[in-house]
Chains A and B, each alone.
Chain A
C-alpha cells in the first residue's frame, strides 16, 4: 500500500510574498522559518507526489455552478492566473502535474461516494496554490503536484465533519488504490484567521489562531470535530478562516497524530494570522481516527 510520508498545513496569504520584504523582522523570521521548515521536511520525505487541498476562492467556477471539490488533472500546472499576478507580486511558475494520480483520485473518491469534479485544463490559481508552491519550493523540487481546490466559502459549505469524512476517504484511496511503493505528501493550504472582503478586513483573531494551532498539533480529532464549527470559524473571520477546512481534509486522511508548529505571528498588512503545522508521519506513530 502507498504511504503518506508528509502532512502539513500552512496559510497562503498573498502578502507572504508581495508584502514580506516590508514586514517587521520578527514577523519575517516566523514566516521564513515556517516555510523553510516545511520545505526541508518535504524534501526529506522524498515523496513521489504532492496532493494540495486549498480554498478555490471562487477563482474557477461561477457561483451558480460551484463544485465543492475540483481536481486539477493537467500535466503541467502554471500560475498564477493573469489577474492575480500584481496582487500576489510573485514570479510565474510551472509545476509538473500527475494526470495519472489525479485520475485515480477522481475515480477513487467517486467510488467512495465523494462527489468531486476534475478538470484537464490548467486551473486558475491565485494565492491558494501559488504561495505554498513558491514558499515551499514545490516548483524547484520537481515533485509532481495534484491540486484539489475546495469550497470553503460559498454556502452551503461542507463543514468540518464532512471534510474529515472526505479526508478519511482520501486516506483510504492513498493506502488502497495507489501503487504499493508510492510515497505521498499532503498539504492543507489556507488560514489562519482572516476576513477577505469583509467589514473587518484587517481583523485577525489571535486567540482563535493560537487555539487552533495548539488543537491541530495535539492530535485530538474528537475535540477538533466538536469545536471547529463553521460558526466558530466565521466568527474568527467571515469568508476566510473556514479555509482551514483544507487542513481538516488532511487530518482526516492521516488520523490522529501529533504535530509541531513553527511559531505564530500577526502583521496587519498580511490581513491574516500566520502559522503552520507539520504532522509526525513517522511509521511508528499509532493510527487512529475520530469516528
Chain B
C-alpha cells in the first residue's frame, strides 16, 4: 500500500497536524474526542473510520501513510520501544486486513 490512494484535500490531515502541534488539543482529544472531531469538516465515513480506529479505511479514503503512522502514535502511544511499538503493530494489523483496531 503506497501513495496511490493519497487524497491531498482529506480533512483528517489537518486534524493530525493540529494534534501533533498542540498538547492542549491532544488533551482535549483524549477527554472529549467527539468535540474535537466536530470542528473538522470530516465526511461521515471518514469520521466513522477515525472513531473505530480503522486505518485501512482511512488509507482507502486518501490518508497519507506518514500521517497515518503518526495518528496511530497519537492514539496508542509515542514512546520509543514502548507505546510507539504498540502503535506500529496496531497500525500494521489494521492495514493488513483487520480494519478496525479500536
Contacts of B21 in A (CB 8 A): 83, 124
| Given the contacts A62-B13, A86-B78, A238 and B65 also touching, CB distance less than 8 Å | yes
State the Cβ distance, B83 to closest chain A Cβ, in Å.
8
Contact mask for chain B residues 65-99; partner A; CB cutoff 8 A; 1 contact, 0 none: 11111101100001111011000100110011000
State the Cβ distance, B28 to closest chain A Cβ, in Å.
15
Q: How many A-B residue pairs have CB under 8 A?
A: 100
Give residues 123-173 of A contacting B (CB, 8 Å). 124, 153-155
Find out whether the CB atom of B3 lies under 8 angstroms from the CB atom of A155: yes
Q: At the interface, yes or no: A271 with Cβ under 8 Å from chain B?
A: yes
Find out whether the CB atom of B13 lies under 8 angstroms from the CB atom of A63: yes
Contacts of B81 in A (CB 8 A): 18-19, 22, 89, 269
Contacts of B70 in A (CB 8 A): 58, 197
The CA of A200 and the CA of B50, in the complex, are separated in Å by 21
State the Cβ distance, B20 to closest chain A Cβ, in Å.
5
| Given the contacts A83-B20, A87-B79, A199 and B3 also touching, CB distance less than 8 Å | no
Find out whether the CB atom of A201 lies under 8 angstroms from the CB atom of B64: no
Find out whether the CB atom of A62 lies under 8 angstroms from the CB atom of B65: no
Q: At the interface, yes or no: A221 with Cβ under 8 Å from chain B?
A: no
Give residues 17-40 of A contacting B (CB, 8 Å). 18-19, 22
Q: At the interface, yes or no: A198 with Cβ under 8 Å from chain B?
A: yes
Q: At the interface, yes or no: B35 with Cβ under 8 Å from chain A?
A: no
Contact mask for chain B residues 9-49; partner A; CB cutoff 8 A; 1 contact, 0 none: 11001100100110100000000000000000000000000
The CA of A197 and the CA of B94, in the complex, are separated in Å by 11
Find out whether the CB atom of A153 lies under 8 angstroms from the CB atom of B14: no
Find out whether the CB atom of A197 lies under 8 angstroms from the CB atom of B80: no
Q: At the interface, yes or no: A82 with Cβ under 8 Å from chain B?
A: yes
* Cross-chain contact of A87 among B2, B80, B91 (Cβ < 8 A): B80
* Cross-chain contact of A198 among B1, B17, B20 (Cβ < 8 A): B1
The CA of A201 and the CA of B96, in the complex, are separated in Å by 11
User: Chain A, interface size: which category?
Assistant: 35 or more
Find out whether the CB atom of A196 lies under 8 angstroms from the CB atom of B80: no
Q: At the interface, yes or no: A206 with Cβ under 8 Å from chain B?
A: no
Q: At the interface, yes or no: A15 with Cβ under 8 Å from chain B?
A: yes
| Given the contacts A197-B66, A201-B92, A155 and B6 also touching, CB distance less than 8 Å | yes
Contacts of B20 in A (CB 8 A): 59, 83
Q: At the interface, yes or no: A219 with Cβ under 8 Å from chain B?
A: no
Contact mask for chain A residues 163-198; partner B; CB cutoff 8 A; 1 contact, 0 none: 000000000000000000000000000000001111
State the Cβ distance, A14 to closest chain B Cβ, in Å.
7
Contacts of B8 in A (CB 8 A): 63-64, 154-155
Q: At the interface, yes or no: A9 with Cβ under 8 Å from chain B?
A: no
Contacts of A72 in B (CB 8 A): none
State the Cβ distance, B51 to closest chain A Cβ, in Å.
20
- Contacts A/B (CB < 8 Å), 28 sampled: A14-B80, A15-B80, A22-B81, A58-B17, A58-B70, A59-B20, A63-B8, A63-B14, A64-B9, A64-B13, A83-B21, A83-B78, A86-B79, A124-B21, A153-B66, A154-B8, A155-B3, A196-B65, A197-B66, A197-B67, A198-B2, A198-B69, A199-B96, A238-B1, A238-B2, A239-B64, A239-B66, A271-B88
Chain B contact residues, CB within 8 Å of chain A: 1-3, 6, 8-10, 13-14, 17, 20-21, 23, 64-70, 72-73, 78-81, 83-84, 88, 91-92, 95-96
Q: Which 10 pairs of residues, A with B, have the shortest CB-CB distance?
A: A197-B69, A18-B80, A238-B2, A197-B65, A199-B95, A89-B80, A86-B79, A63-B13, A199-B1, A197-B68
